[in-house]
Amino acid sequence: MNLSSNPGVSVVMATYYGKAYLAEQLASVLAQLLPGDELIIVDDGSQDGSLELIEALASPLVRCVRNPHNLGVLATFERGLLMSSKDIVFLCDQDDVWLPGKRNAVVQAFESDPGLWVVISDAEVIDARGQLIEPSFMAMRGGFRGSFWQTLVSNRYLGCAMALRRELLCVALPIPRQVPMHDMWFGALASLLGSVHYISRPQIQYRRHGANASPAGSQNWLLMVRWRVALVLALIARLSAWAVGRHAPQWLKAERPGVSKK
């Protein structure tokens, strides 16, 4: 992808009762966006003043919509992704903080390899007050491992640290409602169909607090097994549909690149 012909990026954020941390995150994102970029925010029915805070920004880069009723994480991110228009799409949570240089580091990774479908970075882990808990999220998980089989064993795809090439969305949307989370779905597809690049230097501060949408602790093993089965079945159904469809994508006919790491 030649970014000189389409220099902008889309940042897609889902919000839900996130006013406590939203202003800091918005400031950290908008400080890095360029005139050709867009920040798309989909609010899932907050009543805490989040929407008013966003509207007060009055930024030409921000597009904000509100769900007619609470739809949940998957449907909210899906709506934002469908609204996006740029070749590189960042996933963004409401309560984290972008570290300086994140946009440029990710864009440069995509520019360097046209076969990349996902770029993911490490993240610092902070608490509700912004104090550092751990310098590396991936180190806490035993390091980044992005292959399909490794993802089934222990998912390392952290949505707020990911960016996607638009081609992936052509396959990944709509998001099957039975999959565990959108980030795991995107990561698994990218590991099978394209290549994934890992930036080992943290590009965000990932905030852990009592209201996180993603789980922080260990999960019931039976639930984990059910999630994996649901993911595999969804992947089989989606890839089968694409394989027999009228517009079979080129990746079905070409050798699939592997996972690259930096």
Give me the numbers of helices (H) and strands (E) for the chain, helices first please.
9, 10
Which amino acid is located at 145 in the chain?
R
User: What's the pLDDT score for residue 210?
Assistant: 65
The confidence score (pLDDT) of residue 117 equals: 96
CATH dotted code for 9-261: 3.90.550.10
Q: Name the helix (H) or strand (E) containing 62.
A: strand 62-66
- pLDDT attached to residue 224: 86
Cβ atoms of 115 and 193 closer than 8 Å? no
What is the reported pLDDT for 213? 55
DSSP symbol at 262 = -
Residue 256's pLDDT is 36
pLDDT per residue as tens, the chain (262 positions): 444 445 589 999 999 999 999 999 999 999 999 999 999 999 999 999 999 999 999 899 999 999 999 999 999 999 999 999 999 999 999 999 999 999 999 999 999 999 999 999 999 999 999 999 999 999 999 999 999 999 998 899 999 999 999 999 999 999 999 998 999 999 999 999 989 999 999 999 999 986 555 544 555 888 888 989 999 999 999 998 877 664 444 443 333 333 444 4
Contact 96, 25 (CB under 8 A): yes
In angstroms, rounded to a whole number, what is the distance separating the alpha carbons of residues 26 and 174?
27
> What's the confidence (pLDDT) of residue 1?
43
195-250 confidence digits (pLDDT tens)? 999 999 999 999 998 655 554 455 588 888 898 999 999 999 999 887 766 444 44
The per-residue pLDDT for 237 is 93
- Give the pTM: 0.87
